[in-house]
Structure 1
């Protein structure tokens, strides 16, 4: 076979991922090859030009949403179709195989998170309604006669969702917007675009019009156009995304988590070590809710050594199997991340030698983590480090330090019985969520993540009807 013929055959083997526009599927001339963590090509992703992005969002703005009850019924049906149907040529199991190779999560976690997406589709109406104030009606027809009532009302008609590839469940936010009647333009992660596509195909199979949700992969250069054209936007990513869009009133940013655990005196127990290890290593250690810093009142060095032993034990021989503890990444990504860590953490004590943090996987790529470091200052800059694998920094803490070292955290788990300390954390503006003796990775679709989604999407208007 000639090189040209071989290249054509390889391209034919790649899964084609066309756009899902307001007028159906479309394959564009601009395409991008997606590679798995094993280094082999996975798919050919069509990219949406700016003009098509503008046309799709404008068409969505002109379209009327389905009635609320019908949206709920079709979301329930879409949830079932997501799991049961062949969509885009893939069964659910075939879909999982692609997500697994793209995301680097282990096989069990890939399935668990993907099934959680199906739950999020069905529960989107109920979840988003938790943000509605007690004194607010869902529609003006429910407003009380005479005295009237507040009515929960959309702040716009269209939403742009710029997704990251951390986990399949990144879909949950825009699904709640859809449940409220927004028409959503999804720009999927180019690292893992499979889940967003399957969700939208399931929605269309359940009877949602094409204008309800569109699938528009773009390069980074196309993101500003999408966010500018839509009434509101979600943008997920790292510190760079937060810096670019954090001050934009129409964009809700999901940025770094920098989640932390505080262990107060009297709680340095095996149960605490297990809980902290869960918080560090669950979800491949790649989520914004993973604990990346632990502050310890007491012997923090001993705690760090014991935590390293627990995490090493959990990783064990798993790292070369389908159930690896940390994420599987390309060799190039592993070298880049570990090089950064070696340079930035040169003053920290590595409780697990860096040479042990990367494990070659027999199916290709490298499994990262766990990594545990000790620092001597509760305000060390390393406590703000967040890397996409199980990596944690342990520092000392005393009551005199207060909650200052815990600022700028999406989640703080306070393992304590000190009610005043918990109150201080709740009052700290830059602490997002406070867990009391509950792991930072604990999740529930009914809990706010970075506020309730509905707080951003909706407003209240007074309606009086005589």
Structure 2
């Protein structure tokens, strides 16, 4: 047990090793780390300390964030070098090592650019200096709680927007993959943020309610929490992606590589991976072409240099396989119908891709999102319009020859980001993100009237 990585809580007074700990296992079900779990009283005291802490000046925040990104991507933090960190994330999460490395670079880029990025979306006419404007852009609150995601390391970059805006942030790392959140908080502290500006509070699931309820605002991830907090205006929920592609016209074959990439990039583990494709003419031809490409992807352990598919324990893989087959009943399986579990012989299994064709654009399977390359292909006609495309984190449109359809897509409030033409639908930068900016949730515009200016 002494060889296990020890992930301490990071409280307002520094590192804290709790007696209650959570064991973190690799995809082969071997223990690799222990994470301290803090009780409710520790959460409440930490939130109180965050509220009392002064706000770091904007220029200092920008410099510290840039430095933190560099430290995150290059230095040893909490006794893990960047290569050791990437290896353990891959072994625990099952995300291919190449995708983990790309996420490391992405997080560093976000940290460097996020201060300018949040300012770029400030409402026109709003300025923090009331002497210059009569509108003031200000934080809605001071303390943000983050119930972090664990599906992919890059998801941790989102709450950096709050840090850039001067929020004090309390992060509850995902027990599924806590290493990225732990490393990022450690990098921010090493770069100059005070311990009472940023805390990492691993907790039991029952204690997470105390964290979310005790903060001013909260950012939560996971499909199971959306219903719980859907009507709470102090909580921003981030759930499943349900990203889609619309293929219109008949000239789609030159786009097959890009379509396959949108399904399988990062092992199919992100919220921007395509899970549904709507085809105007012949869905079967599209399904066949995609299945042929995905079938050739190799099965490798997640830390292998040529790994491109996710890996889970055999038990988890078989559970996902059972779910897929039961929900795929009545559809046409082009790939994965005989199973998606490819055991590696060490207690883990590769999750192979799946391609299923459904008969109509409102089939219930089109809402299914699974943590590996799995896509459902449906027919579409111009008469359907945007109705079957709703509730999409990202939508890529290929072949659309009319501006009217694009305008309808842009006007549809349940479609997060629209990609038109040859750009990748998993492409994003710190300025353009598929699910918008949490800054819109964190900030508000106030009117300011000064008698001198009237």
Q: TM-score normalised to the size of structure 2?
A: 0.95
Mapped partners of 1:427, 1:353: distance in 2 = 36
Distance 1:105 1:424 in 2: 36
In the alignment, does 2:238 pair up with 1:254?
yes
SS of the aligned residue for 1:98 comes to helix
Q: Secondary structure at the match of 1:329?
A: strand
* Cross-structure match for 1:27: 17
Q: 2:263 aligns with which of 275, 280, 303?
A: 280
**Equivalent pair of 2:95/2:269 in contact (CA under 8 Å):** no
Q: Which residue of 2 aligns with 1:414?
A: 397
Task: Please give the secondary structure, in 2, of the residue aligned with 1:294.
Answer: strand
| 1:205 aligned partner | 190
2:173 to 177, 188, 192: 188
User: Of residues 51, 54, 57 in structure 1, which corresponds to 2:44?
Assistant: 54
User: 1:217, 1:178 → 2: CA distance?
Assistant: 19
C-alpha distance in 1, partners of 2:278/2:368?
14
Matched, 1:432 2:419: no
After the TM superposition, which residues 391-410 of structure 1 pair with which residues of structure 2 at under 5 Å, given as runs?
391-410=374-393
* 1:125-136 equivalences in 2 (<5 Å): 125-136=115-126
Counterpart position of 1:299: 282
Question: Are residue 149 (structure 1) and residue 134 (structure 2) matched?
Answer: yes
Q: Do 1:324 and 1:367's aligned partners in 2 also have CA atoms closer than 8 Å?
A: no
1:357 Cα offset (Å): 2.2
Aligned structure 1 segments of 4 or more residues deviating by more than 3 angstroms: 316-322, 353-356
| Map 1:352-431 → 2, pairs under 5 A | 352-355=335-338, 357-361=340-344, 364-415=347-398, 416-431=400-415
Alpha-carbon distance, 1:319 to partner: 7.0
Listed one character per residue, the Cα deviations across residues 259-285 of structure 1 (whole Å, up to 9, x for unaligned) are: 11010012332x221121111001211
SS in 1 for 2:2: helix
Cα deviation, 1:190-209, whole Å, max 9, x if unaligned, reads 11111111111111111211
**Displacement after TM superposition at 1:151 (Å):** 1.4
- Which stretch shifts more, 175-184 or 364-373? 364-373
357-366 or 299-308, larger mean C-alpha shift: 357-366
Q: Is the 8 A contact 1:128 1:453 kept in 2?
A: no
User: 1:336, 1:462 → 2: CA distance?
Assistant: 54
What is the CA distance between 1:353 and its match in structure 2?
A: 3.8
Aligned residue in 2 for 1:112 = 102
CA deviation string 1:55-112 (max 9, x = no partner): 1011101111111101111111112221232211111111111111112111111111
For residues 353 and 166 of structure 1, the distance between their equivalents in structure 2, rounded to whole angstroms, comes to: 22
Other-structure match for 2:436: 451
What is the Cα deviation at residue 215 of structure 1? 0.4
Confirm whether residue 219 of structure 1 aligns to residue 201 of structure 2: no
Deviations 1:284-312 (A, max 9, x none): 11111111010101111111011100112
Question: Partner of 1:140 in structure 2?
Answer: 129
Q: Residue 32 of structure 1 contacts residue 45 of structure 1 at CA under 8 Å; is this kept in 2?
A: yes
1:267 is matched with which residue? Answer: 251
Distance 1:246 1:114 in 2: 31
Equivalent position SS for 1:13: coil
Shift of 1:317: 5.7
1:169 aligns with 2:154: yes
How far, CA to CA, are the matches of 1:35 and 1:195 in structure 2? 15
1:389-417 C-alpha deviation (Å, 9 max, x unpaired): 00001111111111111111111111122
CA distance in structure 1 between the aligned counterparts of 2:347 and 2:120, rounded to whole angstroms = 44
SS of corresponding position for 2:141: coil
2: distance between equivalents of 1:64 and 1:318? 49
SS of corresponding position for 1:52: helix
Residue deviations 1:359-380, cap 9 Å, x none?
2235651111210001111111
- Which runs of 5 or more residues in structure 2 are unaligned? none
Q: Which residue of 2 aligns with 1:84?
A: 74
Structure-1 separation of matches of 2:241 and 2:385: 20
Which of 223, 228, 252 pairs up with 1:244?
228
SS in 1 for 2:32: strand
Mean Cα deviation higher: 344-353 or 388-397: 344-353
| Distance of 2:417 and 2:238 partners within structure 1 | 14
The size of the alignment, in residue pairs, is 448
Q: Which residue of 1 aligns with 2:327?
A: 344
TM-superposed CA distance for 1:233, in Å, is 0.6
Return the TM-score normalized by structure 1. Answer: 0.93
The change in CA–CA distance for 1:410 and 1:317 in structure 2 (over 3 A counts) is: closer
